[in-house]
Amino acid sequence: MRVAVTIPYFDFFPEIRAELETAFPGTKFRTDRSRFDEDELIAYLKGHDAAVIGLDRFSDKVCASLPELKVVSLCSAGVDHIDPAILNRHDIKMWWAPGINKVSVSELAVCYMVFALRRVHEFSNLLRRGRWTGPVGFGGDLRGRTVGVHGCGFIGKEVIKLLQPYGVRLLACDRVDISAFCKDWNVEVVDAEELWARSDVLTIHLSRNESTIGMYTGAVLDRMKPSSVLINCARGNMVDEIALKERLESGRLAGAAFDVFAVEPANGNPLLDVPNFFASPHIGATTRDSWAAMLRSGIHGISHAWRPEPGVYPFD
């Protein structure tokens, strides 16, 4: 099996790189951190049977140009950049492990709840500008709040577990039956309308698909509880960023903290200029623990790939 790796992260984990080289001698590694365009991806993978990838996109053109390619093994947390129908047309199998970064992302989400409520970003920026005190008001505690979790998959469930000691009321909404889990963890199952109306803090943990892209329109943001806080450590393009900016500036929403954006990199995004908006550059899984697990999963997938089915999880 001739293997090529399209992501540079194995260089940070020499012991895991050695594991891959031992299992598949002659593996081709990449150190350049820039994104491939189609032609570059084709040239890089030419003559290889398996690709260990991050967020590379495999179009019909790419797949047709790589007749030897039989396996695409994902190290990424999501699969929204993969079209299963295209892979099937070209007889390419894939590997992906759900929930592999759930601890890292859920810890970040809980951290951002506290950051947004306490207005840490605003106070920190004041300090950087040389002000120790100023008329910025007060933050709030997480304890005693109602936290709504929209999407109760691997990460949403982990968020709920992490929030148990905080003394919060927990609401959860999902399109599948989560009643057994919620009963065990003292969570009230509600529909989306009730989730929006009652949550002091609302955290999004939905997959990005046709049903969730653009879900949080301005009209939905207006149905959220006044002065609530919105957290998104899931995927970009689910929240109308222009509408969110307007509601943060007007005070309709008290704050927001996002790790993901509709367009990434998000340099120059107008939301970054809003004082009560806290942002990070898609770092949800950027811990050594998560990446070690994801890289090992990518290695495992070379020999354990499966045929994806359009319309079937995770492509639903």
* 255-258 and 229-232 beta bridge pairing: parallel
Predicted confidence at residue 131, as pLDDT, reads 86
Quick check: is 316 in a domain? no
Predicted confidence at residue 133, as pLDDT, reads 74
- Per-residue pLDDT, averaged over 243-258, amounts to 98
Mean pLDDT computed over every residue of the chain: 96
Is there a single domain that holds both residue 109 and residue 244?
yes
Q: Are 59 and 86 in contact (CB under 8 A)?
A: yes
* pLDDT tens-digit map of 6-47: 999 999 999 999 999 999 999 999 988 888 999 999 999 999
Dihedral sign computed on CA atoms, order 119, 121, 126, 127 = positive
Is there a single domain that holds both residue 232 and residue 267?
yes
Quick check: is 47 in a domain? yes
- Per-residue pLDDT, averaged over 50-54, amounts to 97
CATH code, domain carrying 232: 3.40.50.720
- Per-residue pLDDT, averaged over 64-87, amounts to 95
The first and second tokens of residue 276, run together, are 């009560």
**Higher pLDDT residue, 236 or 32?**
236
Exposed, middle or buried by CB within 10 Å (0-12, 13-18, 19+), for 25? Answer: exposed
**Residues contacting residue 40 through CB under 8 Å, at least 6 positions apart:** none
Predicted confidence at residue 313, as pLDDT, reads 86
Predicted confidence at residue 134, as pLDDT, reads 66
Predicted confidence at residue 252, as pLDDT, reads 98
Predicted confidence at residue 31, as pLDDT, reads 87
Residue 188: CB atoms within 10 Å = 16
**Residues contacting residue 132 through CB under 8 Å, at least 6 positions apart:** none
**Residues contacting residue 271 through CB under 8 Å, at least 6 positions apart:** 241, 244, 245, 248, 256, 258, 261, 277, 279
* pLDDT tens-digit map of 88-144: 999 999 999 999 999 999 999 999 999 999 999 999 988 888 888 766 789 999 999
Percent of the chain scoring above 70 in pLDDT: 99
Distance CA 168, CA 172 (A): 13
Indicate the number of domains in the chain.
2
Find the domain containing 142 and state its range: 102-279
Predicted confidence at residue 145, as pLDDT, reads 98
Is there a single domain that holds both residue 87 and residue 22?
yes
Distance CA 289, CA 309 (A): 30
Q: Are 41 and 34 in contact (CB under 8 A)?
A: no
Is there a single domain that holds both residue 230 and residue 180?
yes
Is there a single domain that holds both residue 161 and residue 291?
no
SS3 of 248-272: the string is HHHCCCCEEEECCCCCCCCCCCHHH
**Residues contacting residue 244 through CB under 8 Å, at least 6 positions apart:** 216, 221, 230, 253, 256, 271, 277
Is there a single domain that holds both residue 14 and residue 163?
no
Predicted confidence at residue 240, as pLDDT, reads 98
* pLDDT tens-digit map of 178-193: 999 999 999 999 999 9
Locus of tokens 């891959």: 20
Give the type of residue at 217: T
pLDDT at residue 80 is higher than 70: yes
Quick check: is 250 in a domain? yes
Quick check: is 71 in a domain? yes
pLDDT at residue 210 is higher than 90: no
Confidence band of 63 (pLDDT split at 50, 70, 90): very high
Quick check: is 191 in a domain? yes
Is there a single domain that holds both residue 180 and residue 254?
yes
Quick check: is 252 in a domain? yes
Q: Are 53 and 73 in contact (CB under 8 A)?
A: yes
Is there a single domain that holds both residue 133 and residue 270?
yes
Is there a single domain that holds both residue 89 and residue 130?
no
CA nearest neighbour of 58 among 34, 89, 33: 89
pLDDT at residue 150 is higher than 90: yes
Quick check: is 314 in a domain? no
* pLDDT tens-digit map of 259-302: 999 999 999 999 999 999 999 999 999 999 999 999 999 999 99
Alpha helices in the chain (DSSP H): 14-23, 38-45, 60-64, 84-89, 102-118, 120-128, 154-162, 179-184, 192-198, 218-223, 241-250, 288-304
CA nearest neighbour of 73 among 91, 96, 89, 90: 96
Is there a single domain that holds both residue 124 and residue 265?
yes
Edge-to-edge, what's the strand order for the sheet holding 3-5? 3-5, 50-53, 71-74, 93-95
Is there a single domain that holds both residue 199 and residue 233?
yes
Confidence band of 314 (pLDDT split at 50, 70, 90): confident
pLDDT at residue 83 is higher than 90: yes
Is there a single domain that holds both residue 75 and residue 33?
yes
Quick check: is 313 in a domain? no
